[in-house]
Amino acid sequence: MKIMIKAALGVALCAFSAPASAITFVNVLTVAGDATDLSGLPANPNNTRLSFGSDLIFDQATSTFIGMSDRGPGGGLIDYAPRIQSFKLDIDPLSGVASNFNLVSTTLFKSTNGGNFTGLNPLLATGNKGLLGASLDPEGLTVLPNGNYLVADEYGPSVIEFDITGKQVRSFAVPANLVPKEAGGTINYVDGRPTIVTGRQDNRGYEGITVSPDGTKAYAIMQDPLVNEGASNDGRRSRNLRIVEYDVASGNPTKQYVYELESLANINPNTPGDTFSATNQGRSIGVSSIMSLPDGRLVVIERDNRGVGVDDPTGLRQIGIKSAYVIDLSQATDVAGISLAGSNTLPAGVKAVSKTALLDIRAALLANGIPIAEKMEGLAFGPRLADGGLSMLIVTDNDFSVTQTGAGEQLDVCASGTGARAIFSQVTIGAGCPQGQSLIATRIYAFRLSAAEANALGMGVPEPASWAMMLAGFGMGGAMLRRRRAVAAKA
């Protein structure tokens, strides 16, 4: 299925004289906001509108990218069946230019009884704020060595294994300190502060997941700090969010680590006159993706909540941070049994994961005059290039181009473009945009790594015997690669 796209090239296409360690912007594709998927469901915006940017992985054997929707249009107020979207891209082996988006399959997530999961929040889905039921807000995606998907859900936060047909296999255990609870211990998956006093913040659960190179461990990362941790026991003020390590065989959590968000002191100089307040630190700044490198290190995307999206369709607000980092857990403290409440400073003896800048995405796009999307939520390394370099793709979540009013009314968001002269509208879902305007697109940003940079990340051209381990480092197992070739679209 070919989808209408537009491609914009950056001036960096000719920048082959860049330093050997450079990561260079190449181009951006925009996949139309009104594109539809291959689910086979009745055609309407709440069933078939294509959105796939909540995470991204790459199947090296079949050259297929695998993206994922979240809970669907309407922010948990519309009954949408969350799903996986598999697609092909042409990656030019010389320049790294990405083109020709081609959707090849759609796979719905199914419960053990065969019913669809729903994006409805737990209260609407089950009538009980403390019961998840079939509610699913998938934000992180990886693949286990057995070929099954492992999905990180934001509602719980939960980790769920699905087979390649999309059917639920098992759920992993959830650390008790992450479960949202009211005073007195009542579980509440729907409300935010001050109703919940411990656990994850509302809409700030697991945002990414990956698997270790040997396939024995999984790492799920929170989007933001826990609601009760930080100065004044307020997670919105904290920089310290948690990464949870799981034993894949048992599905049990084993350790927790601290990831420190960039401080507002470093971010606010990028937004003069429109700075983030103290309570934006652990609420408007967060992590949206995590993936393993072959040597056991991890790559994360850290971003603010600004940019082209349903809240700022013409992209007028100043953006503070969109960056990728390499992190290392090897020297970090296990904080599974340690509270981070009461202070933004880590307790004595607690060491966060190490963190090294990989790419300032914001700066790269600004330098090339490319509109910056709000929700960059998936990063994957694609095919190797002819010069020994490597392609890298970052995909965005366009929120189905749907917003909701305070009264819960759902509306399509349309815009004529980006910048000060652009105009935007909000219209009834499915009514069609005014002339000259269109729904917010999904963006795929293409970058290229030099051979030196790929080697520095442990992704140089391997010996044949090393291929299996490298693919596991990308979240791909040999079994998955063989089985995926035979899997057709699932409705």
> Mean pLDDT score of the chain, rounded to an integer?
91
What is the per-residue pLDDT across 320-350, written as a single tens digit (0 to 9) for each? 999 999 999 999 999 999 999 999 999 999 9
For the chain, the structural domain boundaries read 5-484
- Residue 177: what pLDDT? 98
* Residue 140 to residue 211: CA distance in whole angstroms: 11
Q: Taking a C-beta distance cutoff of 8 angstroms, is the pair 391, 96 a contact?
A: yes
In whole angstroms, how far apart are CA 122 and each of 37, 155, 184? 26, 8, 20
- Residue 7: what pLDDT? 54
466: Cα separation from own chain's centroid:
28
Rounded to 5 degrees, φ, ψ at 13 are -60, -30
What is the per-residue pLDDT across 53-112, written as a single tens digit (0 to 9) for each? 999 999 999 999 999 999 999 889 999 999 999 999 999 999 999 999 999 999 999 999
413: Cα separation from own chain's centroid:
21
Q: What percent of the chain has pLDDT over 70?
A: 89
- Residue 285: what pLDDT? 98
What is the per-residue pLDDT across 444-475, written as a single tens digit (0 to 9) for each? 999 999 999 999 999 865 433 333 333 443 43
The angle subtended at Cα 93 by Cα 382 and Cα 87, nearest 5°, is 40
What is the per-residue pLDDT across 361-418, written as a single tens digit (0 to 9) for each? 999 999 999 999 999 999 999 999 999 999 999 999 999 999 987 677 889 999 999 9
Peptide bond between residue 157 and the one before it cis (omega within 30 degrees of 0): yes
In this structure, what token pair is assigned to residue 29? 């594709």
Q: List 196's β-bridge partners, or say none.
A: 182
Strands, E assignment, 261-353: 285-292, 298-304, 322-328
In whole angstroms, how far apart are CA 71 and each of 113, 134, 223, 246, 456? 20, 11, 16, 24, 36
Over residues 228-236, the mean pLDDT reads: 97
CA dihedral in degrees (13, 16, 22, 27; nearest 10)?
Answer: 10
CB-based burial label for 17 (10 Å; 0-12, 13-18, 19+): exposed
Q: Taking a C-beta distance cutoff of 8 angstroms, is the pair 403, 86 a contact?
A: no
Over residues 248-259, the mean pLDDT reads: 98
- Residue 409: what pLDDT? 84
